[in-house]
Chain A
Amino acid sequence: MTALHLVWQSAAVLVGGGLLGLVYKGFDRKLAARMQSRIGPPLRQPFLDVGKLLVKESVVPKDAVGWLFRAMPFLAVIASFTVLLYLPWGPFPAVLRSGGDAILVLYLLAVPAVAMALGGFASGSPLATVGAQREIVMLMSYEFPLAVAVVGVVWRLATLGGGPAFSLGAIAAAPLWTMVGPLGVIGLAILAACLLIVTPAELSKIPFDIPEAETEIAGGLMVEYSGTYLALFYLADAAKTIAMAALVVTLFAPYGIAGLLGLSGAGGQAVDLVFHLLKIFVVMFAAVTTVRVAMARFKIDQVARGFWLQITAVAVAGLVLLVLDRMVAG
C-alpha cells in the first residue's frame, strides 16, 4: 500500500465519518423529537449548528488556563476521528491496522472524555469543575465493563485461532456466534448487552449525561466553551457516536448481505457498506436515541455503583461463560 493510497483512504474515512456522524445526529434528534411528540429540527440541523458555531466568536474565559482550554477540543476531535481509521467498514478493512488495535481503540475512545474533563478543569468555572469531576468518575465506572466485553470477544476468537489476537480486522472477518458452543452464545449475548448499556455512558447521553446535566450544572464541562471550540467538541461527539456504534457492530454483528443476495465485486461491496451503515444506525437508535427519551438522568453515585457492581458482575459472568465454553469445547 503506497503512502498516497493511505492518505486518500484516510481522507475518505475521516470526511465520510464526519458527515455520517452529523447526519446520524440529525436522525437521532428528529426521531427523539417524534417519540416525544415534538416536530423536531430538520435533518440538516447539525450541519447548520456546526456552521453557525464556526463563525461565532470563541471566548476563552479570563480565569481559564488558556493553552489547555484551547488544546483540548483539538485533542478530542483527533482522538475520536482516529478511532474511525482503526475500524473496519463493512467489506473494507480498516485503513490503519496492527496486531493490537482493539486495545488501541479502547484507549482512543477514552481520550475525548479525558480531553473534555481537562478542558472543563481548565475553564476555571465551578460548574465545569463539577462536570469534569463527574466525567472522570464516569470514565472510571464504565471502562471496566467495556474492557471486559471487548477483551472477552477477542480472547475467545484468539483461542479459536482466528487470526492475530486483539485485531479488529480478524474479528470482523470471523463472526464468533457460529464458532462457539451454546454457553458461548449466552456469554456473547450477555457481553453484547453490557456493551449496549455502556454505549450511552461512553457517549454521555441521557441517562448518563451527568457531566453536562443542563438543569443541574448548566452544561457542566461545556459551560465555558463557545464558537469553534464548541463546534470541535460537537464534531468529536458525532464521530465518537459513530465509532462506538461501529465497534459494537464489528464485535457482535460483522455480517454482510452481499453473499445472500448473490452479489459480488463492486456492487456487493457497496451493498455491504450500506448494510454496515444501517447496522450502525440501528445500534445508535437502540442504545442512544430510544434510551435517552425513555429515562431520567441518573446521579453520579448511582451510575458509579451500578457500573462497578451490577454491570461489572454481569459482564464478568459473560466472560466466565466464554471461558467455560472454551473448556467444554476443549
Chain B
Amino acid sequence: MAETQNVYEIPIGPIHPALKEPIRFTFQVEGERIRGVDIRTGFAHRGIEFMGMKRNLIQTLYLSERICGICSISHPIAITLAVERAAGIEVPPRAQYLRVIYSELERIHSHLLWAGVAAHELGFDTLLHLTWKVREQVLDILEELSGNRIDYALPIYGGVRRDVAPEQIPKVEAMVRYYRGLLDELLDAFLRDPSVEARTRNVGVLTAEEADSLCAVGPTARASGLSKDVRQDRPYLVYGELGVKAITPRDYGLEPRGDVYDKAVVRLLEVAQSLDLIETCLYEMPEGEITSFPKIPALLAFLKKAEGEGLGWHEAPRGEVIHYIRLEAGVEEPIAWKVKAPTYSNLMSWVPMFRDQEVADIPIIAASIDPCICCMDRVHVVRDGSPGTVLKEDLLRLSRAKTERIVSGARLSVPGSRPTAHGLRTTDYGGGL
C-alpha cells in the first residue's frame, strides 16, 4: 500500500524541548499529518506512595506536597481531607476559608504559568515573558502568606499552619485589583491575537463525547463544554457555600469546540473566578481558630490511634485530584496511600486530540492539558532489567484479585517490592489499586 509506505515514525521525548517532563510519544506521521500516537509513561516514577507508607502521617503530608511543584497546595489539601475523614477530625471554619484562599491563589499562578508555557510552545516568547512577569505578583503574595514561592507547607490535618494577618489583607486586595485590571489585557493577548488564534483554533479538538467517555477532568473537560468541576459537583471545604460554577467557553459567549483556544479561554476565565473567590473569602472569613490541633505531638498521638479509611478530593488547577488513605490504630504510617493526579485522567484525551493534526501542533496540544508527568507516574514495571507493559486485562485481573483479598478479610498489603536480577525494583502495582 502506498499510503502505509509514506507513514514514518517521529519519536518525541522522553527528552525534548517541547516537554517539560519526561514522557515519550511515538507519532505515526504522514508528511506533516499525524496518523496515530503511542504514549509511554513511567520515566518519572519516584515511588512517592511507597515512601509515604514508610513515614508518619505528618512526614507524609510534606511528602505529598512534593508530588508536584505547581500543585503544592492541591495535594496537601486532598490528603488532609482524606485523613480528616478517616480519623474524624473537624476543621475550624476559618481554616476552611483559608484553604480556599490558598488553593485559589495556587490556581491563579498555575494558570498563568500554563499560559506562558502555551505561548512559548507557539513560538511567541514575548507573551511568555509578559505572562510570567505578571505571575510574579501572585507568587509574591504566596510568599507573603506562606514564606515560600513554592511548597508552601500550609495545610495540616485539622486546619492550616498560618493565618492571614490583618495587615496582609490589603496586600492581597491589591493583588486582586492588579489582576482584575490586567485581565482584559491578558484576554486580548491570548484570545484576540490573530497569530495565536491561527495556531490554536480547531487545533487539538476534544469533543464533549470524547471528553466524557475518556473521563477527562479539569479545564480539559470544561473546554469541551462539560460542566465538570469537583468544587461544584461534590463540594468540600466552603466551596458549597461559595457557589462555584464550572466555567466553560459558554461563559465567554462561545460555543465550546474543545480546541486549544477553548482551553485558554477556560483557564483565563478561571483566573477571574479565583479572584472573586479570594475576595469573597477575605470578607466572609469568620474569626477563630485556624487548627483543631495547635500542638503537633498531640496531633501525631491522635492520628496514631485513628482507624479507618478516607477519600479526599480537590479541584486542582489541572483537574480533580484524589487521595485515598487508610489508617490503622497503633500504626504511625498510613497503611495505604493512593494518589490520583489530574493528568492521569487526562492522559487518554491526547489520543483523539492528536489525530490528524500537524507535527507543528504537537507541542501546543501536548501542553494543552497542562500535563504534570511526575504527579501522574505511579508505576513503572521493570522485568529482568527491561521495561515491561501492563495491559488493561492485566490491570483488571490484578484488581479483581485485590478485591478478593480485601473481601476475604486479609489485611491490606503494603505495596512491597522485590528486587530483580539486576537489582532494580519491581513495584507491586497491585498495592495501589
Contact = CB atoms under 8 A, between A and B. Distances in A.
Contacts of A296: 119, 122-124, 127, 193, 195-196, 198-199
Given A37-B130, A126-B11, A215-B120, A299 B17 contact: no
Contacts of A2: none
Nearest to A207: B195
Given A218-B16, A296-B195, A37 B133 contact: yes
B148 interface: no
B144 interface: no
A182 B195 CA distance: 34
A298 B203 CA distance: 13
Interface in B193-207: 193, 195-196, 198-199
B356 interface: no
Given A35-B126, A36-B129, A301 B32 contact: yes
Interface string A251-269: 0000000000000000000
B199 A216 contact: no
B361 A213 contact: no
B133 A216 contact: no
A38 B362 CA distance: 28
Contacts of B193: 296
Interface residues of A, number: 28
A133 B33 CA distance: 13
Interface in A120-179: 126-127, 130, 133
A297 B362 CA distance: 13
Contacts of A127: 10
B125 A293 contact: yes
B27 to A, nearest CB: 10
B198 A302 contact: yes
Interface string B351-364: 00000001111110
Given A126-B10, A130-B10, A297-B123, A215 B129 contact: no
B32 A206 contact: no
B370 to A, nearest CB: 16
Interface in B118-142: 119-127, 129-130, 133
B18 interface: yes
B34 to A, nearest CB: 12
Chain B interface: which size bin? 20 to 34
B195 A216 contact: no
Contacts of B123: 206-207, 209, 213-215, 296-297
B363 A216 contact: yes
B8 interface: yes
Contacts of A38: 129
Interface in B89-122: 119-122
B360 A295 contact: no
A218 B195 contact: no
A217 interface: yes
B213 to A, nearest CB: 29
A210 interface: yes
A36 B125 CA distance: 8
A15 interface: no
B124 A297 contact: yes
A214 B196 contact: no
Residue with the highest number of chain A CB atoms closer than 10 Å, among B10, B124, B362:
B124
A215 B121 contact: yes
Interface string B16-58: 1110000000000000100000000000000000000000000
Interface string B301-314: 00000000000000
Contacts of B9: 126
Contacts of B122: 296-297
B363 A215 contact: yes
Contacts of B196: 296
A7 interface: no
Nearest to A297: B123
Contacts of A203: none
Contacts of A299: 198-199, 358, 360-361
A300 interface: yes
Given A36-B129, A207-B195, A218-B16, 8 more contacts: A36-B126, A206-B125, A209-B123, A210-B360, A216-B18, A296-B193, A299-B199, A300-B32
By Cβ-Cβ distance, the 3 closest A-B pairs, closest first, are: A297-B123, A296-B124, A296-B122
Interface of A: 35-38, 126-127, 130, 133, 206-207, 209-210, 213-218, 293-302
Interface of B: 8-11, 16-18, 32, 119-127, 129-130, 133, 193, 195-196, 198-199, 358-363
27 contacts: A36-B126, A37-B130, A126-B10, A126-B11, A127-B10, A130-B10, A130-B32, A206-B124, A206-B125, A207-B123, A209-B123, A213-B123, A215-B17, A216-B359, A216-B363, A218-B16, A293-B125, A296-B119, A296-B193, A296-B199, A297-B122, A297-B199, A298-B198, A299-B360, A300-B32, A300-B360, A301-B358
